[in-house]
Structure 1
Amino acid sequence: MKHPSLPGAAVVAALTLLSAPALAERVTVFAAASLADALAEIEAGFEVETGLEVAASLAGSSALARQIQQGAPADVFISASTAWMDALEKDGLIEPGSRFDLVGNAIVLITHGRGAAPLEIGPDTDLAGLLGDGRLAMALVDAVPAGIYGKAALESLGLWSAVEARVAQTDNVRAALALVAAGEAPYGVVYATDAAAEDAVSVVGAFPADSHPPIVYPAAAVAGRANPAATVFLAYLRGPEARAAFERQGFAVIAD
């Protein structure tokens, strides 16, 4: 296969390691749902630059990790939680030496519609009062990273007990965002990047960074797949084009 001009030395180096017969034409990427917009942009650039195809599966990190544990054919995993990547690494399902921290994020409180008055989120925030008779949309609070981070923040601020029974849990953070965007839930807890991608919601406030564990997205190759194209894709994720795409979507780039 003839490849067009490439964006960086890391991708060039990755490609030179691959013989033509060994280079698969597709790389299958399992990625956290919150990466949807950034990854769509990155996929397009990667395919043009390398001639390789990306097949992306987007869902909650917990669901994707479990699928990999059950033998799903993923070449690359990008998690919204270090814990789920740790679990796969412990099971021997991550290619040694391929893991790195990719981007960071923040969690925010959103409401339906535009132009909502901002507030400072803290121990005195009357979140239950804000909800009225409505529900608080969140990703699964004991499994999906966005929900885990959100619950940790609410517990840290002493707000969880007042709203716990009124949380509408969804399979992933984009589904929680959709509930608020549609007006089916008056408020929700999502990533800052998700809120920025949806015109039908507004950010009420950001949760203090010290109220929850750092939000870090690690990326790695899945062990045992024998698809060298995964190395090319991971190299591209660390390059300038991917960095720019992540930053446009509001992520804090960690990878260098």
Structure 2
Amino acid sequence: MKVKKLSLLLALMLLTACIFAGCGDSKEEAAKSEEGGEITVLAAASLTDALNEIITEYNKDCKDKIKTSYAGSGDLVQQIKGNAPCDLFISASKKNMDELEEADFIDKESRKDLLGNTLTLIATKEAAGKVTMDALTTDAVKQIAIGEPETVPAGKYATQVFENMKITDKVEKKIVKAKDVRAVLNYVETGNVECGFVYKTDAMLLDKDKGEMVAEVKDSLHDPIVYPAAIMKDSQQAEAAENFYKFIQEDYAKGVFEKYGFTVK
């Protein structure tokens, strides 16, 4: 009889322990839910200001933390292939997104073309009067900054412009390569180069006392500038990433993108 009572007591103690353990787990899960998740977004450098503004608005009603990393799209692709954390990728080039799709890194169903942009020629305040597309091959222009063509889509578009204008051999010694479009912008603003090629969205950020946009490049001189986005196939925060992804396609986000010079698809 004593053995039965002891067995019953032990069973009750075990059941109570399980119940409390379960409650503890529930509390932890609830706390995590209250805190929100962390979404890692890797995006082209030209998206920095617009996306940061959109994230600020998003966080007013959502507790998910958005962690961002901005760089040249090609560099970001290499980071993703090297297993860097990423839930959502926004590229400034179809080619870079194609590379990830072919390597089976993205959720193919989530891929969309979000935005468009315009390639522009900018110059320092002092050089703006003499810098034109036709003047690139003349002595009036000594140095031209572009993004590194292998990793920066804007740099690749610039090289296509030179090729289609048939001036590559005449400007190649003038080229100064930068890590991304923001670096090109900085080179011009600081006077390290006379001119450079950036997106219209970057040109709009030029300090008016230091530089200005002198020309929009004809679309026929380069591949279409498209910004595709996609959720990563192995995202650990797929649901939260999808919620943010939807938000950047809604009216508020569209308005912000347009304010910064993007065209919305």
- Give the structure-2-normalised TM-score: 0.82
In 2, are the aligned partners of 1:136 and 1:168 still within 8 Å (CA)?
A: yes
Among residues 231, 243, 246, which one is paired with 2:257 in the alignment?
A: 246
Shift of 1:48: 1.0
Matched AA of 1:207 = V
**Cross-structure match for 1:59:** 71
Report the Cα distance in structure 2 between the residues aligned to 1:66 and 1:116, rounded to whole angstroms: 36
List structure 1 segments (4+ residues) > 6 angstroms apart after TM superposition.
19-23
- Tell me, in whole angstroms, the C-alpha distance in 1 between the residues paired with 2:228 and 2:42: 12
Q: 2:138 is matched by which residue type in structure 1? A: G
Equivalent of 2:245 in 218, 224, 234: 234
Native 8 Å contact 2:130 2:140 kept in 1: no
Q: Find the aligned partners of 1:229 and 1:177 in 2 and give their Cα distance.
A: 34
TM-score by length of 1: 0.85
Q: Distance in 2 between matches of 1:161 and 1:231?
A: 46
Corresponding position of 1:71: 83
Structure 1: how far apart are the matches of 2:169 and 2:253?
A: 40
Q: Distance in 1 between matches of 2:206 and 2:52?
A: 16
Mapping for residues 201-240 of structure 1, pairs under 5 Å: 201-227=211-237, 228-240=239-251
Specify the alignment match of 1:87 in structure 2.
99
Distance in structure 1 (CA, Å) of the matches to 2:177 and 2:119: 16
Secondary structure of 2:182 counterpart: helix
Paired position in structure 1 for 2:43: 31
d(CA) in 2 for partners of 1:172, 1:165: 19
- Deviation digits for residues 53-107 of structure 1 (CA, Å, limit 9, x no counterpart): 2111000000001100110001100000000000001111001311100100011
TM-superposition CA deviations, 1:215-250 (whole Å, max 9, x none): 000011011123121101110111011101100000
1:147 maps to what in 2?
155
Which stretch has the larger CA shift, 20-29 or 205-214?
A: 20-29
Matches within 5 A, 1:154-173: 154-173=162-181
- Is contact 1:102-1:216 (8 Å) kept? yes
CA distance in structure 2 between the aligned counterparts of 1:108 and 1:204, rounded to whole angstroms: 8
Name the amino acid aligned to 1:178.
N
The separation in 2 between residues aligned to 1:46 and 1:97, in whole angstroms, is 24
Higher relative contact order (CA 8 A, sep 6+): 1
How many pairs are equivalent?
232
* Long gaps (5+) in structure 1: 1-18
Deviation per CA, 1:25-66: give whole Å up to 9, x if none.
221100000111111111101111322221110000000011
Question: How many Å separate the matches in 2 of 1:94 and 1:119?
Answer: 42
5+ long unaligned stretches in structure 2: 1-28
Which stretch shifts more, 58-67 or 223-232?
A: 223-232
Aligned with 2:118 (options 103, 106, 111): 106
Q: 1:192 aligns with which of 169, 178, 200?
A: 200
In structure 1, what is the Cα distance between the partners aligned to 2:213 and 2:167?
18
Deviation at 1:118, TM superposition (A): 8.4
Mapped pair 1:128 → 2:137: yes
Higher relative helix content: 2
Task: For 1:248, give the aligned amino acid.
Answer: K
Question: Could you list the per-position Cα deviations for residues 118-142 of structure 1 after superposition, in whole angstroms to 9, with x for gaps in the alignment?
Answer: 8764xxx13132554x311100123
Contact 2:131-2:140 at 8 Å conserved across structures:
no
Contact kept, 8 Å, 2:127 with 2:194, in 1: the verdict is: no
Whether the 8 Å contact between 1:138 and 1:189 is mirrored in structure 2 is: yes
Distance in 1, matches of 2:121 and 2:139, equals 11
1:22 to 1:71, Cα distance in 2 relative to 1, 3 A: farther
Question: In structure 1, how many angstroms separate the alpha carbons of the residues matched to 2:113 and 2:262?
Answer: 12
Secondary structure of 1:224's match?
coil
Give the Å deviation of 1:159.
Answer: 2.2
Q: Root-mean-square deviation (CA), in Å?
A: 2.0
